[in-house]
Every structure is written in C-alpha cells, then in structure tokens.
Structure 1
Amino acid sequence: MDNDKQYLKILSKQFTNVAMTATEIINLQSILSLPKGTEHFLSDIHGEHEQFAHVLKNGSGAVKRKIDDEFGNILSEKEKRDLATLIYYPEERISLIQRKKMVNSMDDWYLVMINRLIRVCKSSASKYTRSKVRKALPKDFAYVIEELITGRRDLGDQEAYFNEIIKTVIRLGKAPDLIIALSKAISRFVIDHLHIVGDIYDRGPGSHICMDTLMHYHSVDIQWGNHDIVWMGAATGQLACIATVLRFSARYGNLDILEDGYGINLLPLFKFAIDTYKDDPCECFRLHYREGEYDLANAQMDRKMHKAIAIIQFKLEGQMIKKHPEFRMEDRLLLDKINIEKVTVTIDGKEYQLKDSNFPTLDPNDPYKLSVREEEVMEKLKAAFINCDKLQEHVRFLYRKGSLYKVYNNNLLYHGCVPLNDKGKFLEVELCGHKYRGKALYDELEKWLRKGYYAIDPEEKQIGMDMLWYTWCHKNSPVFGKDKMATFERYFIEDKETHLELKNPYYTWYDKDETVTMILNEFGLNSSESRIINGHVPVETKKGELPIKCGGRLLVIDGGFSKAYQPKTGIAGYTLTYNSYGFLLAAHEPFESVEKAVETGSDIHSETVLVQHVERRKTVADTDTGKEIKETIEELEELLRAYRKGELVEKE
C-alpha cells in the first residue's frame, strides 16, 4: 500500500489535477479503439540493399493496396503504378519527368500528383492519433501536410483554402519538396513497425548500407541470425569470427564492404597472401561474384586472399575446438587428418583426395598453430575491427534492438530453429556445465552473447566471445540448426557426400500441429491465433515447397532475398505483413535496379497470399501496446480516485 501511494505521488507530478488525469484517460481509452498498426516482417536480407530498400518503400504491397483502396477504378492500372513509383522514388521520378519532358505542364502535373498523394496520405494516417501523425511528419512541411490531410475538403468554404495552399506551394517552386515529404509520410504511415527476422549480413554487396537504413527506421526490432552473430563476434575481436567474416567477404567478392564500407585496412592480409600464395592459382577458391558488379581485374588477387584467410579460419576454429572440449566438435578437426604427401584427408575413417596440395603455412607437427606472419596479420585485423567506429556503432544497434527471439503481439519470432531431438522433443544442450532446452536455452545463450560484447570481467567476456563463435556454427545453436558447417569439404573435396549438412530434427517436425503448439506454449503463447515467424532456411519454391507450414501456424519467410540463393529458390524472397485484418504473405520477383523501377514503374511485389483473415478487425486494444495502455489507464483511474477522495491535493 505504501508503495502504491508513493507511485501515485510520483504520477501526480505529471498529471497534477482531476482535469488533466481525466483528459489523459479519455485520450488513452480512445486510442485503444484505433485499428492495429501494420507490422512488416523481413528475413535473410544478406546485404541486398537495393532490394531491401525497395521492399521497405513498397511495404510488401501495402502502398499499392492503399492506392487501390483509395482510387479503385477511378485511375487506370498505369496511373496507379506511376503513383506508386512516385511514392517509392519521388526525387528520381520527378527528375525523370522533367528531363524527358514527359508531361506538357509540370505545374498541372504537380497539382494532380499532390492531390492524389494527399488522399493516399490521409488514408494511411487514419489509424493513428493526430499527435502521432504530427510527430511523424517531415518538419519542413509538417504544418502544411497536417492541414491538407486533416481538413474537410468536402465543405465548400474549405475547398478554396486547400486549393490556395497547393497553388501557393507550386508557385513558390516548392512542389517537388512537398511531393517528397508526402511520399515519405506515406511510407512511414503504411508500416507501423518492422521486424527483421535475422541475417542482415554477408553475401550481398551492401550489408553496411542495410544497417544504416535500419538505424534510421522509425520502429524496428531484430532477431539475430547466425550471419549477424558472427559479425557481432568479429566486432568483439574474436579471431575465429573475424576470419569467418573476411572469408565470406572474399568468397562473394565483397571485400570492399570491409575496406570502403567500414574502413578496415586489408593491406596486411593482401601482402601476406601475395607472398605466401604467389605462384598458387588458388583454383579451389574461385569467387561467387555477381556479373556486372565485380571488377574481374581483382579476381586473381582476391582468390589468394580468399585462400589465405580460409586456412587461417580453419586453424583458429581448430584452436577453439581444442580450447573447449565441452563443445564436442572434435569431428570438425580436419587439418590434422591431412596427408600432405598423398594429398588426401581422412574423414570418418574414409580417405578422400584433396583438390589442392599447396599448404605452405601448415605445420604437420602442429597444424592448428598460426605461422608468425599469420599471427601478425590477425593481430592487425583484430585491432582494425575493434577500433572501427562504424562497425561498433552498427553492432551496438544490433544489441540494442536485437535478441535471439521475440514475442510480439501474440506471435513468436526467431531466425533458425528451436533445437529438437529425433523424437520431436526439446533437445537438452549443455552450456558452461549446465543443461538447457527450449526457451531456457535461448535465454542462457543470449546472456552470454551480450557478455561477449559488454562484460567488464575479462574471463566472462572471453567466454561470451567464444560463445558468439559457438552460436554461429554449432550444431545445437538455435540460429544454425545443422550437424556441421562443411566449409572445408566444399573447398577441398570433390565428393559431394561430404558436403551434406543435415538439418536439426526441428525441420522434420515443424509442420506438425503438436510440435508448433509445444513450442508456442514453451514461450508463453497459448492462443489459437498465435504464430511462429521463422527465417534462415530458404524455401525452395522451384521444388514445390511452400512457406506456410502447419496450416499457417508457422511461416518461413526466407525465400531467397540473396541473389546467390535465387537460382535455388526460384523467387527473390518472401515477406509478411500483419495488419488489422490479418496476415498477408508476399512473394517477390528479383529486383533489377532503381533506374528501371523509376523509368518503367516496375515493382517486385508479385503475389500475395492471404494466410489468415481475422473474424474481428484487430485494434490497438489487442496488441502489446494496448496492454500497456490498459495498465496505464488503471493507474490513472487510481490517481483520479485519490484526488476525488482527498488523499492527494490537486495542483494548478
């Protein structure tokens, strides 16, 4: 009781009298009746920054749906497509129209477009309070836009007022700026909150650009993927993680992400690779570059750097496995199984021919020991990663906005899998001498992943750093979910039977109702409307695989955002939206370029599947925010009672 009274006294400093308290209760109660904001789910972006930016702009079809709702058959399909393109790329579209003289009068075009944009903006903002709308508007045009979208144009005396505003904007040469401001406001309003279900990094050329975009997004959370976690490990200075990040960047011809994007000096690795693999063609280390996006003049040098860092990675991983026998990863110790004279390696008792015979830095007596020069290279790279301000800023953002899983609005979001055993029950995993399973495994791992970056105690920090590497590639890691990372085999062994990576039993059981129920219950969800949103493993649409599992209770939204996966998946990714009416799953076509999108109005949102349509339209009251608002209302009503009983004295 004393604590309650003390809390009410604190609350009374903000709401000082009956009138203020009652007004806030009325305001909050009315917010509960507003439609639920639209959530947007994306997964496995893998550095495809242009496609990522486009999907953010079009809201996975949400913008087109708003245009359709507002204009129906009033506009032709081409006119609606052109309007959508203007919203996505206002500056580029205006420039194109001016440059190619695509209209007779720019002023007339401005007048038509501004009026259309106002209608879409007004519709998009209708599910928010005026206060929230005002805060979200671009500052330069906040007053003008608020007037245009909140007034009543159907009233005769208001029509002239609205027209005069728009005509004055055009006359003063500010029409392009207003169009840009309206377009940004629409993109902001159609999506209330963004979920990134893991793997922002690796493969594509713009992971750092994706991170910059996310840091400026209005509302976002992130569920870490294994590729995010290895970069988080690299930022701590964990050597095996640094080597892995470098190898991936080299493999996909993206070393400029590190050099130009993050300013990390790769000269030490370059010089070492030149000297060590000078006459080695490094044929096993050909790059997975993208046609037209990679300078082939660098290919030979990049292959040498690729091999140099790969060998270093295998050595550092071997050191980690020997340092942590509790990881039980001895089957991944392969360098000591190499017979240099026979050019073979023995795996699981079977001898395989190696495709490469040149291992100048491998000491047969201690194959996992770095050479003196390799040590020097890694120490310099470690310092570069730790002291890279931009990388540290991005990683702190990942920690601040991210987690291994998230329960949000009665749904469970995670990147990989909840580790299961062959019987479909939660797998018991040993970490630091204790056993965990299900939600407890996630919670314990996340505790150590955060310590790896933030812990002050050196011993705790080192364990956390090593756990970042463990989480990246261990078979029991929830964000990996395979029996091994067959990197060595894919480079050096022709026989594809050694390349196989067996998935955790989760992927056998996750289409079963009892399994999904068990997982949801484990994370505190028991509603029939709860769903699991899952990423990580590409859905192979070409083979007839579907992203909708267990009758729509589990949705896998990795459909191949990464161009490296698209030949396998057949599409360019799945995304998901959850609005007040239900879930919509969108399949996307490959994104060609911003230039083509601007010039032709092409879009990459190709197909939408209704996963669930709710019987009753969801409101804010049905959300996590709604629960918080209801609790605040209860507290304010207690404060109101205290004022009315004279227990607290009102102030002016």
Structure 2
Amino acid sequence: MKKKKYDLKKDERYLRLLAKSFPNIAEASTEIINLEAIAHLPKGTEHFLADIHGEYQAFQHVLKNASGNIKRKVNELFGERLRNVEKQELCTLIYYPAQKLELVKKQEKDIKDWYHITIHRLVEVCRDVSSKYTRSKVRKSLPADFSYIIQELLHEHADDKDKTDYVSAIIKTIISTGRADDFIIAICEVIQRLVIDQLHILGDMYDRGPGAHIVMDTLKNYHNWDITWGNHDILWMGASAGNDACICNVIRIALRYANMATIEDGYGINLIQLATFAMDVYGDDLCEEFIPKVSKDNPLDERSLTLTAQMHKAISVIQFKIESQMISRHPLWKMDDRRLLNAIDYKKGTIKLDGKEYQMRSCNFPTIDPKHPDKLTEAEQALIDRLHQSFTGSEKLRSHIRSLLRHGCMYNIFNHNLLFHASIPLTEEGKLKEVEIEPGVKLKGKELLYQTGMKIRSAFQSNNDLQTEEQRQDAIDFFLYLWSGPDSPLFDKAKMATFERYFIADKETHHEKKGYYFEMRDNEEIVDMILDEFDVPQPNRHIINGHMPVHVVKGENPIKANGKLMVIDGGFSQAYHKETGIAGYTLVFHSRGFQLVQHEPFTSTEDAIKRGTDIVSTTQIVEMNQQRLRVEDTDKGTELRLQIEALEELLYAYRSGFLTEVERKTPQKV
C-alpha cells in the first residue's frame, strides 16, 4: 500500500484544532477504530413519505409501523414459532403500547405470565432493530428510567445459562415491582425509534385533511426528519408571512372540504367575522357552485352546508381580487391572463378566455364594481386586515413554520437520491428552462431551486441589513407565484383553474396543462440529465418525487425511467382515494435495497388497537442490492472516511514529532 504524503506545515492550524479533541496517539487511534467499526455497520433504514395532506391518523400509523417494516421484522424473527394472530397482536402492541395494554389487562386471566412472555418477545425485536447501530447510538435512544435495564437485556446470549437466568430475574423483578406497563411502553417506543434511522418528507403536510397541525406536532417530536417543501406547505408559509392571497387560499381550501379543524382548533384563528360577512353579503345566494366536498365522516346539516358555501364564495371573491392586484404589481410573473375578474361581461353574464366567450354559471357579485373589479370594498378590506393579523399573530403557526424552515428546503440529496416535491421546469426540447425570478436574473435547474429557497427564507427575515423592506415584501408576494405560477417548480402548469371550476360549466376550461417535466420524466436520458445537473453521483441514483397522485386504477406505474425515478404520492388524502384507487405510497430504503409500499385506506386508530387492523399494504421490490449496503456506502460513510483521513494525518504528526502528545489529567477524587 502506497504511503500517504502529508503537508503538515500547510495543515498545521487544522491539526492543532483537532489535537484539542484527540491530544495523543492513544485517543486518536481509538477514534479511528471506532469510526472504522461504524463504517462497517449495515446502512440505517430511510423512510420516504409524501403528500400527507392533514391525514394525521394514517400518517401516525405509517410512522408507527414503519410502512410494514416492523411487521416484516416480526415475521422474520418469529416465523413459525408464533401463530399469525400472535404476531399481529405483538405488532399492534408495538404500535400502540399504552392503549393495547389497557385492552390486554381486561382480557388476560394470567397477566403476569403474559407480561413475562411479551417482554421476552419485545426484547428480541428490540435486539434485532438495534443491531445495525453502535451501542452508543442505541444508548442515546433509550429512556432514562430503563436505559441500564434495556442495555442489559439487549446483550443477553441464549447460550449463556448464567446470563439467561440473570435476564429472567430482571424481567421477573420488573413485573413484581409493578413497572411492567411502563417498561413495555418504553421498549415499544425504542423499537419504533430504532426501526427507522431517518424520515424524509417530500412535501405537502397541509390542506384537505383534518389535522395538519397534528402532523406537524408529531414531526416536531420525531427523532430525525427532513422535508422538501411542497406547494401546499408553501401556501401556509406564505399565509404565516402575511401574503393575503395565500391566507385567502388557505381558508378557501379548508371551506371547500368543510374541514376547519387546522385553522380554528390547531392555530386558534377565528372565522366568525367571515361567517357574519358572508351571511350579510350572500344571504340570498344559495352559492351552489361553492357547496363543499363533505366526507361521510364529517357530515353537515343543511344550514351549516349553506353557511359554509356562502363563506366559501365570500373568501374566494376576495382571493380573486387580491390575486389580481398582486399579479398586476409583478409583470415578471407573466400571469396577467389570470386576472379573470377583468374578463367578465357583468351585464351579459359571460367571460372571454383565449378569445372564446363562455357563459358563467353565476354572475352574482354584489361586492364587485365592474369598472374596478379587483378593488376590495371597505368591509372586505376590514375582514382581510383582521385575518392577516390572525394568521401572522398565531404563535403555534409560527412555531410550525419555523420547523419547516429549520428542517426543510426546496431539494435535498441523500445517498445518491435527489428529492424534490414536484418539478424541474423544462423546455419543449427537454432542456432545463430558464425562469426569471428577479428582474434580469434568469435561473434554471439546481440554481433555480437553490435561489428560490433563499428567497423563501428572506420573507421571514425582518430587520435585515441585507435586504430592504421592499425586497422582503417582494419575497412575501412571491409565495403566490410559487403556488400558482406557470414556471414555478412547485406547480409547473399553465394555469390553476380554480376560477373556471367554480364559475364555468364548460370543462375544457378546467384543464390545467402540465409542464414538460411531467411529460418527460419517464425518459431515462432526461432523468440522467437532471441528476447530472444536481451533481448526484453514480451508480444507483434516483429522483424521488411526490405532488402528482399516481392513478393506479388507470394503470399508471409509480416507477419511471427504467427505475431511476419514483413517484410516491398515491394519495393519502381521502379526497383522492376514489380518483387513485389506493391510499398512498411510501418508500423504504434499507441496507438490502428499495421497497415501494402501496397502502389501502386506513380505517381508524381505534380499529387498529381494538381489532388489530393494520394498513393493508402491498410491497413492491424496486431495486435490491447484490451486497448489503454498509454505512461506508452512504453520505455518512464519506464523512467518516474524511474524518479517518484527518485522524491518520494527526497520528503521523504525533509520530514524526511535528506535534507533541498531551496526556489528559485524570480528575482527582474528592
């Protein structure tokens, strides 16, 4: 092996800093041994989810069962030793330990015997999921109360009788001291934590479903997660930053699905003034085009349905006005054709689009002045001012947006996988499309996504010497473009046909032409070109997206470009289930390869606990590795290799006499 040459003089400052942490040969050598050992452990399991859309119960369940990974571990461990019903009961206990224990204690005649058997089984599962981590990492994952006990149990050896007796004594004592329930809950939570090393969210936690705030609370307590922002997340980020068009869109979508829980219960935003305004202005209007999409789980009586429709129309009209004002201030966006209130003939009840005239379904606009259609009335302005104050003043919403900023960005690269929510704008020829997000500044590909992310962050930076208040307001306005702009990497369609769907019966006007990325992403050459643009190293590299529901019922395949691109939005949201035929995809990337998990609709947490129903899933092997991946094969492995090389140079510096070793002083005992 060729001896390395070091330029110690050039690296002296860095070596002296490193020597403060490793002051002698013994400590530097020990750290090299430790890092080499970590590099040869199996790669940790990554879990990919997209487009949660507020479906918090299904989301929490998928986190708890790790997209079937826990069930797979239980089946592998216990095989024929346990009946299927016993394995199902064990899995349910791991997912929902506290709730399942309550049921078990009501049914079991000999609870002590059940405790003894169950704890042994849980220890076996925990030992298996912890095997790919260092003892140090496992120890950091353990609850303080049971850390020592769990460590002892995990290192039991079945062929060591004394050790087995010792472990049995520990379990017996846990039971006799009345700590069995607490211990079971603790070890189940450890299993859930260790079975997934990192969680990747590919955007869209918000809108449609009932509990986006609960999804965010769940993530804030999750051990290791990141997110690439989706268009619906950006909408809520814009609302929190004070973009009034985003605020209207957020409320409109909630009313469209008659699902106000996140706004009212989650973030404490009161909509009573909107309700009062809607009744005053639209009290004689049935607002049939604004009747909400009500789920069977959330029925509304006729009076509530009518009021919701009136509120829905009221906020929509305000939204169209504010959007029109904002678009007129930003000609760079090239969205002037979306100022549709100016295209209406209010006397004839028609609208002209692309040179063609269409009949309006309704032309009842009591707050619109045909001469100045995008001007807010005094009452509308007062209402939006109050809503603006409520959204920007919600501390819980600000806290959740801070989490999105801290853990998120427009794109991410992990272990040869490029993650982004929706699209990379392309030309008709399949080249990267230049998009002008600042006057005279045209960006494409990687730089477009990077600078978009920087502009998003600048919207939340007040009192900043690096930007004027005008620049910050421009960044706040920009959220609307990201939500519905034709070349936005989070939207990438010719238009958002919200207005047309409400007011024009002719469905040809409802069509939203997708950008070229969505037409070309099954082309392996295009996918490779994008991966090259983002400097994603070969081999076995992929793009992973969400955003567009995969229409399984129409035969659409989520695996594209010869396996190089995966779309994992199968539709968590109940609103998509009929359209897609399934209830979402998730992706698991473990040391042996990729597995795509197709889910059926989740019934409820109560069903999962009482009847042991799990999300019915179908697992598709996407790509399996010939050899099991190690940490050294990952991005973390690259970091470890650099650390080892630096420590090897430090050793050379000590051994050559360039640096002097220092023995640490052992603290004197008092």
Q: TM-score range by the shorter chain?
A: over 0.9
- Larger mean CA deviation between 11-20 and 476-485 belongs to 11-20
Distance of 1:242 and 1:330 partners within structure 2: 21
Q: 1:39: Cα distance to partner?
A: 0.3
Once the two structures are superposed, the pairs formed by residues 280-429 of structure 1 within 5 Å of their partners are 280-296=285-301, 298-429=304-435
Q: Deviation per CA, 1:427-477, whole angstroms, max 9, x where unpaired?
A: 121221211111121112112111112253312211111122111111101
One-letter code of the match for 1:527? Q
Q: 1:295: Cα distance to partner?
A: 4.3
One-letter code of the match for 1:204? G
* Cross-structure match for 1:469: 480
Which of residues 132, 156, 169 in structure 2 aligns to 1:151?
156
Distance of 1:274 and 1:255 partners within structure 2: 18
One-letter code of the match for 2:558? P
Q: 1:638: Cα distance to partner?
A: 1.7
Once the two structures are superposed, the pairs formed by residues 429-508 of structure 1 within 5 Å of their partners are 429-432=435-438, 433-455=440-462, 456=464, 457-508=468-519
* Cross-structure match for 1:91: 98
Q: Deviation per CA, 1:364-421, whole angstroms, max 9, x where unpaired?
A: 1111111111111111111111111110010011011101111111110111011111
Distance of 1:202 and 1:3 partners within structure 2: 55
Does residue 608 of structure 2 align to residue 597 of structure 1? Answer: yes
Q: 1:528: Cα distance to partner?
A: 3.0
One-letter code of the match for 1:125? S
Q: 1:2: Cα distance to partner?
A: 5.9
Distance of 1:514 and 1:530 partners within structure 2: 13
* Cross-structure match for 1:166: 171
Distance of 1:601 and 1:306 partners within structure 2: 39
Distance of 1:178 and 1:290 partners within structure 2: 40
One-letter code of the match for 1:379? D
Distance of 1:408 and 1:428 partners within structure 2: 26
Does residue 43 of structure 2 align to residue 36 of structure 1? Answer: yes
Question: Is contact 1:60-1:605 (8 Å) kept?
Answer: no
Distance of 1:344 and 1:549 partners within structure 2: 43
Q: 1:554: Cα distance to partner?
A: 0.4
Which of residues 633, 636, 642 in structure 1 aligns to 2:647?
636
Quickly say closer, same or farther: Cα 1:317–1:124, change in 2 above 3 A. same
- Larger mean CA deviation between 540-549 and 140-149 belongs to 140-149
Distance of 1:148 and 1:459 partners within structure 2: 61
2:11 alignment partner, SS class: helix
Q: 1:294: Cα distance to partner?
A: 4.4
1:265 alignment partner, SS class: coil
Distance of 2:145 and 2:78 partners within structure 1: 28
Question: Is contact 1:539-1:569 (8 Å) kept?
Answer: yes
1:483 alignment partner, SS class: coil
Once the two structures are superposed, the pairs formed by residues 587-626 of structure 1 within 5 Å of their partners are 587-626=598-637
One-letter code of the match for 1:407? I
Question: Is contact 1:281-1:300 (8 Å) kept?
Answer: yes
* Cross-structure match for 1:577: 588
Q: 1:104: Cα distance to partner?
A: 2.3
Distance of 1:526 and 1:185 partners within structure 2: 34
Matched positions, count: 650
Question: Is contact 1:236-1:452 (8 Å) kept?
Answer: yes
* Cross-structure match for 1:275: 280
One-letter code of the match for 1:577? V
1:431 alignment partner, SS class: strand
Question: Is contact 1:471-1:479 (8 Å) kept?
Answer: yes
Question: Is contact 1:273-1:305 (8 Å) kept?
Answer: yes
TM-score normalized with structure 1 length: 0.98
Distance of 1:176 and 1:265 partners within structure 2: 41
Does residue 40 of structure 2 align to residue 18 of structure 1? Answer: no
1:555 alignment partner, SS class: strand
* RMSD, aligned α-carbons: 1.3
Quickly say closer, same or farther: Cα 1:526–1:638, change in 2 above 3 A. closer
Q: 1:526: Cα distance to partner?
A: 4.1
Distance of 1:122 and 1:192 partners within structure 2: 15
Gaps of 5+ in 1: none
One-letter code of the match for 2:145? D
Distance of 1:463 and 1:508 partners within structure 2: 32
* Cross-structure match for 1:73: 80
Q: 1:316: Cα distance to partner?
A: 0.8
* Cross-structure match for 2:129: 124
Which of residues 190, 195, 198 in structure 1 aligns to 2:200?
195
Distance of 2:459 and 2:189 partners within structure 1: 38
Distance of 1:605 and 1:215 partners within structure 2: 27
* Cross-structure match for 2:110: 105
One-letter code of the match for 1:245? V
Question: Is contact 2:294-2:300 (8 Å) kept?
Answer: no
Distance of 1:600 and 1:552 partners within structure 2: 37
Distance of 1:46 and 1:2 partners within structure 2: 56
Question: Is contact 1:511-1:549 (8 Å) kept?
Answer: yes
Distance of 2:583 and 2:343 partners within structure 1: 40
Distance of 1:113 and 1:449 partners within structure 2: 50
* Cross-structure match for 2:549: 538
Which of residues 208, 216, 222 in structure 1 aligns to 2:213?
208
Q: 1:350: Cα distance to partner?
A: 1.6
- Larger mean CA deviation between 148-157 and 24-33 belongs to 148-157
Distance of 1:322 and 1:632 partners within structure 2: 54
Question: Is contact 1:586-1:605 (8 Å) kept?
Answer: no
2:442 alignment partner, SS class: strand
Gaps of 5+ in 2: 1-7, 665-670
One-letter code of the match for 1:19? A
